[in-house]
Amino acid sequence: MKTLHTLMILAVLTAASTLTACSHAMMMIHGTGARRPAASEFTLGPRASVEGRYVATLEPSQPLRPRQMQTVRVIVRDIEGRGIDDAQIVVDGGMPQHGHGLPTRPRVTRSLGDGIYEIEGVRFNMGGWWEFRLAITGSRGVDTVTFNLAV
């Protein structure tokens, strides 16, 4: 009886695993309904934040590539072009068409002055359209900026 119970549990776990893998595969094939932005929307910046409080520009240390750990600098300025040195920046992102986030948790590790910050731990696990989002809290308030990246 104990063996039968164990076999039933294994069968349920296998079925659940298969369904999860299938639903992920179907999402990869058919997508989540997210529409890829126009080619003009793919840029490292400068890019204005949603509320217009900041302008941000990404400067990768090397061309962005999949499956590589990378460091990216971000330059944060106010709308008049002055560097924002007191910002707190939270990094997020993902692949909208696949419905998953970044495989790592990138974070700002250094402020280099004049509104320049270094973000370490950036990794894209596959090629395609990625959103790279920054939530910026600084002297002008809280705002967000999203970069569309073709990796």
* 19 contact partners, CB below 8 Å, separation of at least 6: none
Are the CB atoms for 64 and 70 separated by under 8 Å? yes
pLDDT tens column, 59-91? 999 999 999 999 999 999 999 999 999 999 999
Cβ 96 vs Cβ 32: under 8 Å: yes
> Alpha-carbon distance 16 to 68, whole Å?
31
Q: What is the phi-psi region of residue 68: left when phi exceeds 0, alpha when psi lies from -120 to 50, beta otherwise?
A: beta
DSSP conformational letter for 21: H
**Cα(127)–Cα(64) distance, integer angstroms:** 10
43/109 Cα distance (integer angstroms): 23
Q: Among residues of the chain, what percentage have pLDDT more than 70?
A: 79
As separate numbers, helices (DSSP H) first and strands (DSSP E) second, the chain gives: 1, 9
Q: How confident is the model at residue 1 (pLDDT cuts 50, 70, 90)?
A: low
Structure confidence by residue, pLDDT tens digits, 107-136: 999 999 999 999 999 999 999 999 999 999
Compute the distance between CA of residue 134 and CA of residue 151 in angstroms, rounded to an integer.
Answer: 18
Q: What is the rounded distance in angstroms from the CA atom of residue 70 to the CA atom of residue 64?
A: 8
